[in-house]
Amino acid sequence: MAKRVIIQTGGKHYGMQFGQAKVPCKEDYPRVNDGPYKDTLNFYYRSVVSGCGAQMLVGLCKEYGAKHGFDWVEIRPNNIISAVSENFMNEAIAIGLYVPVHKELGEPVIFPGTWSKYNCVESQTSALLMAYQEEWAALTLSAFNAVNGDAPSWSTLWPVVLDNFKINHAAASRETQFDNASIPKEREG
């Protein structure tokens, strides 16, 4: 029987999905539930606190843990980068699908985000680091997040991605990427 269950949430615990979060994220940062996001649903809060989705998993861990003698801990990696297939929460796979599809269709390969997101500092977690993080959490029973420690922005990463797909990244200017970007009519809605 398991002695400890690890529940993986992530950077959304810190409000990454609402825009740029304070980085590096610290485990004791308050929840992002005030200001413009006051009434916004954050799945991760529901998951760890009470009873829907992953929250149901926490409830089961509490109930069955008490009954069968195991405990649980939460880890919070951010933007996981790995070579695992069929994991569509993985940025590498999402970008790896997005770029060649647009290239093949002969469409401009524009950055799939805002100008602000393009220029803000990102934090990434490699799959290897996440494995170490899970091992540490299993041994210490402490909520924990870990990122690689580098401080890339998409403004430095995006040209490298385009180079890998042999796409001219000179087209990655603000004007072509953001100011004049539009959704093709057949893809609207």
Domains of the chain (ranges, CATH numbers): 4-184 (3.40.50.720)
CB atoms within 10 A of CB 31: 13
pLDDT 10s digits, 85-109: 666 667 778 888 899 998 999 887 8
Q: What's the number of CA atoms in the CB half-sphere (13 Å) around residue 9?
A: 29
> Residue 48 in contact with residue 8, Cβ under 8 Å?
no
What is the rounded CA–CA span in Å between residue 182 and residue 38? Answer: 31
What is the rounded CA–CA span in Å between residue 183 and residue 185? Answer: 6
pLDDT 10s digits, 131-165: 888 888 888 877 777 777 777 888 888 888 999 99
